[in-house]
Amino acid sequence: SPGVDPASPAGQGRVDVALDVTDRRQAEKRLMFLAYHDALTGLGNRTLFLDRFAALIGGHGSGGDSPSRWALVAIGLDRFSIINGTLGHAMGDRVLVAVAHRLREPLGGHELLCRTGGDRFMMLLTDCDTDAALHLALNDLLAKFQRPLEVGGHQFDLSISLGVSLFPDHGQDAETLIMHADAALHEA
């Protein structure tokens, strides 16, 4: 608040102004969060996924103990439109939040998880050097949805479909791998 400094010499008043920028900083912080995260689930969005994937790929060639093969998994909720159509979009949103929470449960070896929109999610699995390790991780992911999901007094027996592309077998950049994983998901 403005004020005059009583200690200033006569005839030379000083006005002090203090601004509270807390609300502005919080708004800026929220905007920055929304630029890289899904507002509904809090998961990263496609932009964050692409940025982090590029950083991982960039570090891949530096030696170290990086895995030689990664799996990019496109995840779609089967028949999700029925939930929106029969119970409304508010319930559909609550189900998506619960699905995101379930996908966050430890799987082992996943580096990235994001919601790419609607009922679609993307996960990068980094412990896939062998076919057996990949199959185990994918089966663990499918098993997450073998138990019902309870949301708002409703019980949902959801299933998911998966589309997988492998780095470096199916591409060496995120866009190419996403394209192949999405095509595999549509095929599934």
DSSP conformation letters of 69-98:
-EEEEEEEETTHHHHHHHH-HHHHHHHHHH
> Quick count: other Cβ atoms within 10 Å of Cβ 72?
28
Phi then psi for 87, rounded to 5 degrees? -110, -5
Residue 129 is among the residues annotated as catalytic for this protein = no
Catalytic residue (one of 38, 119, 127, 182): 119
Compute the Cα dihedral for 21, 27, 30, 34 and give only its sign: negative
Residues annotated as part of the active site: 119
